[in-house]
Structure formats: structure tokens, C-alpha cells
Amino acid sequence: MLKVGVIGAGHWGPNLINNFHNHQKSEVAWVIDRDPARLERVQLRFPDIKVDAEAETAIGDADVDAVVIATPTSTHHPLVRAALEAGKHVMVEKPITDAVDTANELVALAEKAGRVLMVGHVFVYNAAVQRVKQYLDDDALGRMYYISMVRTNLGPIRVDVNSAWDLASHDISIANYWLDAEPVSVSGIGGAWINPGIEDAVFATLRYPNDVLVNMHVSWLNPRKNRDITLVGERRMLTFDDMSISEPIRVYDKQVAEQTTSPDFVDSFASFRMSVRDGDIAIPKVASGEPLRSECEHFVDCVLSGNAPLTGGREGTAVVRALEAISRSVANGGREEAVTG
Ligand SMILES: NC(=O)c1ccc[n+]([C@@H]2O[C@H](COP(=O)([O-])OP(=O)(O)OC[C@H]3O[C@@H](n4cnc5c(N)ncnc54)[C@H](O)[C@@H]3O)[C@@H](O)[C@H]2O)c1
């Protein structure tokens, strides 16, 4: 039985507490939050869990095997470092930290200590995202041309990170996972209207190896909750709508291809050579499942088995590398920036 301490019981933390406490192989020993009102709510719902205001209480408890961190991004680095230094396994919410150098430091620390460091990139554990990955691994779409991703909603508005760090962190983790690569360069434009210097909407384009373009539109200042992704491949196209519970994926047998037979009518040489093929649309069945549950189970399994997590510190750092480059580009008015670090 893995004993877990959860630090941060705000909006997201209670979901993690619930999953780790209602698990066959783990239980939550401590919940830590600086806000007494949050702790009161936790105590009402989980009377058998101990609570405290100081992270050190859970991190310093010899009975605690793993620490799960769901505090604001700006606090991740010192908390993860303290937990790793105390010999704990760590699962930290996305993004791993707010800078590449601190993320690199945590990866090195975890590797030296031989502890699991996992980042809560929950979409990688989404059954539909995994189904798309299967299509790509099977080369069902052909050569990938571009991916377009839209993630918008009205709120929650953050004050410690901008909408790219909060929302595009999901999309970058998905794109890196699908393409098995990280972007080479990025360009981004953002607008800060609610709080000075904190972009409420960011439009970013990421260049991946092999000429694949990934475009992201993220915003917490939008009337519609949108979670829309389109993948355009040479042979097929695919849409993923995370708002659709029963039919999230559609595979379009559509392509632009060179003519093999002479068409009846052409109006130019270009349209003579290339023509569109408009075939069937398939809606595959996607196993229903709770991504956060799968993510938490994966963390427990990795701790118990010693296996490397799918979204470990290195994968989390790759996301931060891209985010840092997007921030540089936004600060430079959209100039293309190399992804480095
Ligand atoms: N995976 C997802 O889909 C998802 C969704 C929402 C949030 N998140 C991530 O979860 C993290 C938390 O987000 P949230 O929306 O719950 O934020 P929140 O502000 O609602 O909650 C954070 C909590 O942490 C507490 N806290 C802050 N510093 C602390 C410290 N040093 N010690 C103890 N407690 C401390 C605060 O009192 C607050 O209750 C962020 O990293 C965010 O990106 C992930």
C-alpha cells in the first residue's frame, strides 16, 4: 500500500485526493494546504485523512512514500525539490515548473535519487488521445502535414502563468506524444487584457521535424468551451472533439492526390494533376475511461514496478522548453524562436 501526501487542495487537488484514496494500492495519509477553508472541506469529505498547512509535515513523514503536488505552477519547483531530497517519489501537476533550468534540475535530482518523477499531463492518459496515437503509429493517416488545436473556455483565469503555460501545456504534451518528437521552433502572438503582462489568449505555431506544423489557439477568455483538434495527413484526416463523450474521433478518408485517370472536366493544369478524394467518414468506438484515474494508477504502478512513466520529468521538461520559446516569441512580437535548453 503506497502512502501518499497531497499538497494543494484547491480546484484540482481534490480530484487527485479522491483517486489516490480510492485506489486498491494507495491511500492518502496527508493533505496539505495553506488555506484552512480548503482543509476544512477535505476533512468533511475524507475524515480519515490527516491535514496540515505546512508541506514539510507530509514531506518529512517517514511513512509517506510519494508526494503529489497540485499547487500553482510557480510553487512547483521548491516543493518537488524538497520532496525528492527527502527521498519521496513525486507526481507534480502540469507544467512541471515555470522554467527549463529548474525543470532540468528536478529531472537530474530524481534520476540521481532513483525516484519516480511524473508530470500530470492528463491528456496522454485519455483513451481517445491514445486511440489517435495508435492511428499514427499504424501510419493510417500517411505523412502528417499539420495539426490544428483549439482549447478555449471562459476561465479559470490564472495570475501566476499565462494561458499558454496553463492550457497549451496540454496541447504540447499531446502533440509531442503523438508525433514522438518535440518542436524545433515556435512563433506566438498573445494578448493580455484582464491582467497586465499575463496573456489571456495565445495563438502559437510550432514547427516539428519532417515539416509538420502544429497550430494552437488557447484562451480562457472565450464564450465557448472548445476542445477541438484536426490532424491532416497525406492519406487521411482526423478530427478529435474532446467535448463529445460518445463519438470523439472521426476519420475522414479524404485526400488530395495526383490524378491517375483523366477527369471529365478540368479548368487548369494544376487541377488536372491534383484532385480531391472525398471518401467515407469513420467513427471508431473509443473505450470510455476516466483519464485522471488512469494517470494516477500509472503513477502507482511506476512507483511499485520501477518502470519509467509515460509523462516523466523529461517529457514534462520538453513541454516547458516549448512553452519558454513561445513566451520568448510572444515577447518579441511573434518572431520565430528556436526551442532550446
Ligand atoms: N491536469 C489538469 O487538467 C489540471 C486542471 C486544473 C489544474 N491543474 C494544475 O493543478 C495545479 C493547481 O491548480 P488549481 O486550479 O487547483 O489551483 P488553485 O489555486 O485552485 O489551488 C491551489 C491550492 O494550493 C494551495 N497552496 C499554494 N501554495 C501552497 C504551499 N506552498 N503549500 C501548501 N498549499 C499551497 C492554495 O492554498 C490552493 O488551495 C496547477 O499546476 C494547475 O496547472 C491541472
3-state secondary structure the chain: CEEEEEECCCCCHHHHHHHHHCECCEEEEEEECCCHHHHHHHHHHCCCCEEECCHHHHHCCCCCCEEEECCCHHHHHHHHHHHHHCCCEEEEECCCCCCHHHHHHHHHHHHHHCCCEEEECHHHHCHHHHHHHHHHHCCCCCCEEEEEEEEEEECCCCCCCCHHHHHHHHHHHHHHHHHCCCCCEEEEEEECCCECCECCEEEEEEEEHHHEEEEEEEECEEEEEEEEEEEEECCCEEEEECCCCCCCEEEEEEEEEECCCCCCCCCCHHHHHEEEEEEEEECCCCCCCCHHHHHHHHHHHHHHHCCCCCCEHHHHHHHHHHHHHHHHHHHCCCCCEECCC
Mutate to test the pocket of ligand 1, among 30, 42, 93, 170 (most ligand atoms within 8 A of CB): 93
Check whether 274 has a pLDDT greater than 80.
no
The percent of residues in the chain predicted with pLDDT above 70, rounded, is 96
Residue nearest ligand 1's atom 27 by CA: 71
Distance 94 CA to ligand 1 centre (A): 10
Which CATH number does 127-289+322-338 carry?
A: 3.30.360.10
Q: What local confidence, expressed as pLDDT, does residue 267 receive?
A: 62
Confidence of residue 265 (pLDDT cuts 50, 70, 90): low
Distance 151 CA to ligand 1 centre (A): 20
Q: What is the mean pLDDT of residues 99-119?
A: 98
Distance 121 CA to ligand 1 centre (A): 14
Superfamily for the 2-123+291-311 domain: NAD(P)-binding Rossmann-like Domain (3.40.50.720)
Q: What is the mean pLDDT of residues 183-193?
A: 98
Q: What is the mean pLDDT of residues 16-34?
A: 96
214-249 per-position pLDDT tens digit: 999 999 999 999 999 999 999 999 999 999 999 999
Ligand 1 neighbourhood includes 97 CB (under 6 angstroms):
no
Residue nearest ligand 1's atom 6 by CA: 12
- More confident site: 22 or 281: 281
Domain chopping of the chain, boundaries: 2-123+291-311, 127-289+322-338
